[in-house]
Structure formats: structure tokens, C-alpha cells
Amino acid sequence: MSGTTQLNWDGQSNPIRNLQYMLRRLAGKYDFLPDLAVDGIFGENTLEAVMLFQRELFPPVTGVVDRSTWDAIVKEWSKWEQEQSPPRMLRIFPGEGHEVQPGAGGGYLILPQMIFEVLRNKLEGIVSTPLDGVHGVESVQNTKWLQNLAQLEETGVMNRETWDMLTRLYEMFVTADERKKP
């Protein structure tokens, strides 16, 4: 991801924008990180932010965003988001400790299935799933995709931690987009 290229996957996802967004959010926690513009271009400012992140939190300093650097940034960002997240107004998912195993059902599962369907238009890797309230093959696949993204154990089990990450993604990619519209 280094250099001055601009990546864009048909508007579905832009890894450089995602990188910039996470580093920009982390600048709220770490004073050594600059307040980046989220423009999708891996230019001098983005390179500097990556190198500063590597220098302070994840050596060696290479300026290259390989898989291990990406994972380290995602991990730091996820922790910071969890610390900064305001309490949610809507807590649909059953209480702490509740888990939905593959093959199980429940009316409330339609909501996470719907959220995945909406996010499918914005993020690569989510598969279409029936809105049937059953944690079937596609629903489990999407849950594992999300757990991988959030660096959680990939169990396919929908639990509170996975649900919270799903709602965070919805807020980032759907709710935030709607607030920007005139």
C-alpha cells in the first residue's frame, strides 16, 4: 500500500481511506500521529503517519503497510473505538453472555442479517443472506468475516462482542453517510 497510488474498488471499499480513517482516529489517542485527511491517496502525510505508528507502536519502521502492520493498526483502532464508543441507544441483542450458535434461530437475528445486507453494498467480503432469523450458512459466514475483521476468534457464533462490532460498522458506513446527505 505504499507509494502515491490511489486504490478504489468500484466504490465498495478503499483500503487507503480505511487506513487513513483509522490512523486519524488513533491521532485522538496518540499525540505523535498527525491528523490525516481521509482522501484515499497514499501520499507523504499518510506515509509519515504509518512510519510514526511503526516507530512508536509496531517496529520496525518501513513505511510499508504489510499484513502485520495493517493488523496492528486495526487492533489499536478497535481497542480505541471500544474505549470511545458512547453507550448505544438501542440494545437489540440479548444480554451479556448470550450466544447464537450456527443453525439456531430467533426473531432478533433478522436485524443483524439486515445490517449485513446493507453493509454488503459498502464493504467487500459480505455475502447475501436470507432474512429469515436463522443463523444459517451465509449468516455464519458473514459473522466469521466480521470476527476476522475485528480480530476476534472466528467462531461464527453471534455474541455480544460481535454484535457490538457489527453495529459499529453500521454506524461508520451507513449512519455517518446519511448524516452527510443534505
Looking at 61, 84, 107, the residue that finishes a domain is 84
Structural contact between residues 163 and 91, judged by C-beta atoms closer than 8 angstroms: no
Indicate whether 80 and 118 sit together in one domain. no
The three cell numbers of residue 41 are 491517496
Counting Cα atoms < 13 Å in the Cβ hemisphere of 46 gives 23
Share of the chain above pLDDT 90, in %: 51
- Render pLDDT for 68-100 as a digit per residue (tens, 0 to 9): 999 999 999 988 887 876 555 455 666 667 888
> 63: which 3 cell numbers?
513505511
Domain identity same for 114 and 51 = no
Q: Which domain holds residue 39?
A: 15-84
Residue 34 confidence (pLDDT) above 90: yes
168 with 107, same domain: the answer is: yes
* pTM summary value: 0.54
If pLDDT is split at 50, 70 and 90, which confidence band does 118 have? very high
